[in-house]
Amino acid sequence: MNFQDLNLNTPLYNALDDLGFAKPTPIQAEAFNVVASGRDVVGIAQTGTGKTFAYMLPILRHLKYSTQHNPRVLVLVPTRELVVQVVEEIQKLSKYINNRVLGVYGGTNINTQKQAVAQGLDIIVATPGRLYDLAVSRVLQLKSIQKLVIDEVDVMLDLGFRHQLVNIFDILPERRQNIMFSATMTQDVDTLISDFFKSPIRISIAVSGTPLENISQHRYKVPNFYTKMNLLVHLLNNEDEFNKVLIFVAYKRMADRLFEKLETHFKNDICVIHSNKTQNYRLRSIEAFGSGEHRILIATDVMARGLDIGNISHVINFDTPEYPENYMHRIGRTGRAERKGEALVFSTEKEQEAIEKIEGLMQMEISVLEIPEAVEISTELIDEERPQLKERNNPTKRRDEEAPGPAFHEKKDKNKKVNLGGSYRREIAKKYKKPKTRGDKNANRKRKRK
CATH of the domain at 295: 3.40.50.300
**Final residue before a domain boundary, out of 379, 400, 432:** 379
Does residue 405 carry a pLDDT above 70?
Answer: no
Does residue 6 carry a pLDDT above 80?
Answer: yes
Q: From edge to edge, which strands make up the β-sheet containing 147-151? A: 101-104, 123-126, 73-76, 147-151, 177-182, 41-44, 201-204
Containing domain of residue 262, as a range? 215-379
Specify whether 189 is located in the same domain as 244: no
Q: From edge to edge, which strands make up the β-sheet containing 314-317? A: 270-273, 296-300, 245-249, 314-317, 341-347, 215-221, 367-369
For the chain, give the mean pLDDT.
85
Specify whether 247 is located in the same domain as 182: no
Is 103 in contact with 131 (CB distance < 8 Å)?
Answer: no
Does residue 82 carry a pLDDT above 80?
Answer: yes
Question: Residue 418 has what DSSP assignment?
Answer: -
Does residue 314 carry a pLDDT above 70?
Answer: yes
Does residue 438 carry a pLDDT above 60?
Answer: no
Specify whether 181 is located in the same domain as 247: no
The answer to whether position 255 is within a domain reads yes
| 347 Cβ contact partners less than 8 Å away, ≥ 6 residues apart | 219, 220, 221, 222, 320, 354, 355
Q: CA-CA distances (angstroms) from residue 85 to 25, 82, 89, 306? A: 19, 5, 6, 9
Q: What's the pLDDT band for 277 if we cut at 50, 70, 90? A: confident
Specify whether 198 is located in the same domain as 219: no
Cα–Cα distance, 47 to 205 (Å, whole number): 11
Does residue 206 carry a pLDDT above 80?
Answer: no
Does residue 58 carry a pLDDT above 80?
Answer: yes
Specify whether 171 is located in the same domain as 276: no
pLDDT of residue 408: 53
Specify whether 153 is located in the same domain as 227: no
Q: What's the pLDDT band for 278 if we cut at 50, 70, 90? A: confident
In our burial notation (b when 16+ CB lie closer than 10 A, e otherwise), range 142-170 reads bebbbbbbbbbbbbbbbbebbebbeebee
The answer to whether position 435 is within a domain reads no
**Final residue before a domain boundary, out of 351, 379, 407:** 379
Q: What's the pLDDT band for 122 if we cut at 50, 70, 90? A: very high
Q: What's the pLDDT band for 79 if we cut at 50, 70, 90? A: confident
pLDDT of residue 197: 87
The answer to whether position 324 is within a domain reads yes
Does residue 322 carry a pLDDT above 70?
Answer: yes
pLDDT of residue 362: 86
The answer to whether position 250 is within a domain reads yes
Specify whether 292 is located in the same domain as 158: no
**HSE-CB of 211 using CA atoms within 13 angstroms:** 24
pLDDT of residue 161: 82
pLDDT digits (tens, 9 = 90+) for 371-382: 999 999 999 888
pLDDT of residue 393: 63
- How many domains would you assign to the chain? 2
Q: What is the pTM of this model?
A: 0.72
Does residue 260 carry a pLDDT above 80?
Answer: yes
Does residue 261 carry a pLDDT above 60?
Answer: yes
How many helices, marked H, and strands, marked E, lie in the chain? 17, 14
Specify whether 302 is located in the same domain as 375: yes
Phi-psi region of 311 (alpha: psi -120 to 50; beta: other; left: phi over 0): left
Element (H, E) at 124: strand 123-126
The answer to whether position 436 is within a domain reads no
The answer to whether position 446 is within a domain reads no
Q: What's the pLDDT band for 194 if we cut at 50, 70, 90? A: confident
Length of the chain in residues, anyone?
450
Beta-bridge partner residues of 341: 215
Does residue 433 carry a pLDDT above 70?
Answer: no
Torsion sign across C-alpha atoms 285, 289, 295, 300 = positive
In our burial notation (b when 16+ CB lie closer than 10 A, e otherwise), range 190-205 reads eebbeebbeebeebeb
